[in-house]
Amino acid sequence: MITLCFAAKGGSGTTVVACTRAIRSPGPSLLVDLAGDGPAALGIAESDRPGVVDWLASSAPISHLDDLVVEVAPDLSVLPACGSGSTHDEVTTDVDRWSELTDWLVEWAHDTGGSVVIDAGTLPIPASFAERCPTRWLVTRSCYLSLRRASRSVTRATGVILIEEPGRALSRRDVENATSAPVVAQIAWDSRVARSVDCGLLVSGRLSRSLCRDLAKAIA
């Protein structure tokens, strides 16, 4: 199974959702950190090796991806975005390169019997890559600006993870109409989740029970 998590606007909670999805997956899971915030959210050191975004921009063979995977826990691994000394402000649009990455992810899931979770954040990714991900979650707040951008996105969601905030005027139905996708989970904003991220406790298992419960509805 491959799950793509993406957002139309920064600060929507995509990284937390992707990390939680990977941590709570039954069996082996691989978090593909295209957004670059995975290690910080999980509370692990940044890799001193290149990452998947570096690989996309190179001509390295697909087999090199195996060497870039970092084991975080017995059933959780991370494919970082880039090494600690590099940045990924621009990402290649080479469709063939993205296709190679998809092939490798499909093979990883098949060989391990596990799940792949991709945190794309607001990164523009080729539509051909997104379409090969069976599950595509748009993570968003019921924010007009976010939904306005989401309606123009080339990545079409199969489901929406709605982060609920008090005081918002837009309803679940408004979100579904704007995105042309069903809301598969509604997650209440919880300050305890923010504290867990700030303290690097996500990978330690100290996850919000409400977050895990609400996200489980989307996974089922």
- pLDDT > 90 in the chain, percent: 50
Question: Which among 210, 218, 203, 152 is positioned nearest to 20, based on CA atoms?
Answer: 203
Binning pLDDT at 50, 70 and 90, where does residue 37 land?
Answer: confident
Burial 167-177 (b: 16+ CB within 10 A, else e): eeebeeeebee
Q: Which amino acid is at 17?
A: V
**CA 25, 30, 103, 184: dihedral to nearest 10 degrees?**
40
Question: Which among 218, 36, 2 is positioned nearest to 121, based on CA atoms?
Answer: 36
Residue 78 is predicted with a pLDDT of 95
Residue 48 is predicted with a pLDDT of 82
Residue 112 is predicted with a pLDDT of 94
Task: Count how many domains the chain has.
Answer: 1
Residue 220 is predicted with a pLDDT of 57
CA 38 from centroid of its chain's CA atoms: 9
How far apart CA 138 and CA 215 sit, in angstroms, is 13
| 53-57, 85-89, 106-110, 172-176: range with lowest mean pLDDT | 85-89
CATH number at residue 136: 3.40.50.300
Binning pLDDT at 50, 70 and 90, where does residue 71 land?
Answer: very high
The secondary structure element, H or E, covering residue 120 is strand 115-121
| 47-51, 115-119, 148-152: range with lowest mean pLDDT | 47-51
